[in-house]
Structure 1
Amino acid sequence: MASSVLSVPSTPSELASRGYVVALLDHAHESFGTTFPGGRTLPCVACDTVNHAPEKAQRKLMAKVATGRAADISFVVDTLTAAPHRPQDAPTWRHSAMIDPQRIGAAGHSIGGNSAATAMAADRRIRAGSNTDGDFSAPVPRSGLHGRPFLMLGSPSGHAPDSADANWLDNWRRLDGWKRWLTVRDAGHFSFIDLPVLGAQIGATDPTAPLPGKRAGEITREYVGAFFDQQLRGIPQPLLDGPSAAHPEVVFQNP
């Protein structure tokens, strides 16, 4: 049976190449161009709602999104693993026997990263989680994540220990299991998804995030992959022990 990672999104191809069963979630009305069977395509209603809300209300709205997505994640776990408490008429993935229900992880970028932590707080079946550059609009509970491991990988702007917004620092202190807080020099918010990798192939770069797209992709794949290999498969990963000469851009934070 294989380990499973629900990617929201992160590095699905890399994890699949390592032998994981990967589910990439699209959340209805919360992303651009979500297309259903039959061709119906939904707009991002949540994007417009948050963008037009007063600044003070935006974090509350984002927290609501993270909580809703966490429920989606648990629903997908139910469906993919044929959980005993599922309604009898609920659909089940025909390859559910491939998944080891004791080795399930969740990873996400931006609000997806917050969703991964929120899902872990609500669903103990999720054994490990990763947040790439997402604010914790829905905070980690004061009780922590019941000792389960969590990886925080982000850009220095806004997600370093000395950032003006103490969002990551406050939540870091609530994590009560194995944890790492890594920042990547010259990275921006979108450095952890496919956008800079694809942009580099056509010569498009973001001057506010000078880390080359190829390197951004390599770093994200290496560290997120190493995290899940260690936490879900029990394979020691020296990469996670401290700074690496192969990845000088990666800074280990220990506030």
Structure 2
Amino acid sequence: MKRALLLAFALVLPISACGAPATVQAQRLMIPSPTGPHPVGTVSVHLTDQSRQDPWTTSGAKRELMVSLWYPAKDAQNHKVAPWLPKAAADRYLEDNGLKPGSVLLDTTDGHEGAPIDQGLGKLPVILYSPGANASRAYGTGVVEELASRGYVVVTIDHTYDAAVVEFPDGRVETGPEVTDFAKAVEVRVADVRFVLDQLPTLDKAHVFDLQRIGMFGHSLGGAATSSAMYADKRIRAGLGLDGAVFGKVAQSGLDRPYLVVDTEGKGGISTNPALRTFWDGLRGWRLNLTLKGAAHNSFGDDVLLIPMSAKPLGLSKAEVEEIVGTIPAERALAFQKAYPLAFFDLHLRKQKEPLLDGPSPAFPEVAYRR
């Protein structure tokens, strides 16, 4: 049946099943609002790396990326909220995943487009986000908005032709074949990340980015990209992988900077993945491994909401949904995403004491700790 269902690194909606209901009332993806004290602003930016030809095409075109900046905003009420995906990208996304137009609405977030950044907060730490393979930078919107509401600048990256769908300002919508060469994909992503790091001074129109406090996180292949980018570039001071594997030299060499490994029982984490175990043993700085019980590979990011709400139009059974997003209640998966990345970056980019990372917390009984 649905091939995407079992992809180890995929973050895509499964392709529609035979016999799916003909008419289902449309549902809107509603990501819980961030809990921080600041309203969230966002802006999308088109970047072109003139030094590289795109490695996924044969056209000779330069490598193009779309990124979004999310940040604490000022006077956000006069700016409309951004869609989860822009319309042309959303329409293509639904079409590619066998969903009828309008069956799932992807038209709202808590990010206010073009709202001015709050310069009164001083220098702000910067975090990069890389999504899973065949996914989109939109998939991390919930956790990204939370970080922005707490005073971080977050730069989310679409890795073109590896991403599910990318819309450019000229109206082009680019997709790509399903990623199967994960080692190549990680190499390309590392080059993308380093290019984005080079662009940060230009992107910092208000001169508030603290380029001495840069972190990175990602889900699945984005987690692999995080560890490899840290190995390649010392500008990234701390990293977090959400159920991500490791590829390349970093798997054997480890890292000398803080790293948080989040894994699940079903996919197989440190205890069953030899490469991840070798990477873990090679971590020479601060390290922590958290296992989220009851979670599955796609319990991280907005998938934990998107896939269950798409189950009816796709004709997915309860068992099929649980195979993708686990048995953990969505509200608990979302609570984890709001709390732990924030605690990690607060500790390592802001040097704030974070008891949540010290050991088991009664507020999160589903989280197991390993040092």
Give the TM-score taking structure 1 as reference length: 0.84
1:2 aligns with 2:124: yes
Pairing partner for 2:147 from 5, 12, 15 = 15
Size of the alignment, in residue pairs? 230
Asked if 1:105 corresponds to 2:222, the answer is no
**1:68 shift after superposition:** 1.1
CA offset at residue 94 of structure 1?
Answer: 4.6
- How far 1:24 moved relative to its partner? 0.6
Q: Would you tell me which structure has more helix in proportion to its own residues?
A: 1
Matched, 1:159 2:242: no
Equivalent of residue 346 in structure 2, options 226, 229, 232: 229
Partner residue of 2:369? Answer: 252
Could you say if the C-alpha distance between residues 5 and 190 of structure 1 is closer, same or farther in structure 2, counting changes exceeding 3 Å? same
1:140 aligns with 2:250: yes
Q: What does 1:38-117 align with in structure 2 at a 5 Å threshold?
A: 38-45=170-177, 47=178, 50=180, 61-81=181-201, 92-95=202-205, 97-117=207-227
- 2:327, 2:186 → 1: CA distance? 29
- 1:103-158 C-alpha deviation (Å, 9 max, x unpaired): 0001000100110111110110100011000111335254432x210011121123
Change in 2 beyond 3 A, CA 1:244/1:2: same
Q: How many Å separate the matches in 1 of 2:175 and 2:309? A: 28
Between 204-213 and 241-250, the greater mean CA deviation after superposition = 204-213
Find the counterpart in structure 1 of residue 290 from structure 2.
Answer: 182
Q: Retained in 2: the 8 A contact 1:64–1:138?
A: no
* 1:210 and 2:327 aligned: yes
- Residues 160-203 of structure 1 show CA distances to partners (whole Å, capped at 9, x for unaligned) of 3432x323211101111101111100100000110113455678
Cα 1:139–1:191, aligned 2, differ >3 Å: closer, same or farther?
Answer: farther
| CA–CA distance in structure 2, aligned partners of residues 5 and 68 of structure 1 | 19
Does structure 1 retain, via aligned residues, the 8 Å contact 2:167–2:173?
Answer: yes
**Computing the radius of gyration over CA atoms, which structure comes out larger, 1 or 2?**
2
Query: Following the alignment from structure 2 to structure 1, what is the Cα–Cα distance between the partners of residues 346 and 150?
Result: 9
**Structure 2, unaligned stretches of length 5 or more?**
1-122, 132-139, 313-317
Partner amino acid, structure 1, of 2:294? D
Q: Is the 8 A contact 1:197 1:216 kept in 2?
A: no
Percent identity of paired positions between Structure 1 and Structure 2 = 38
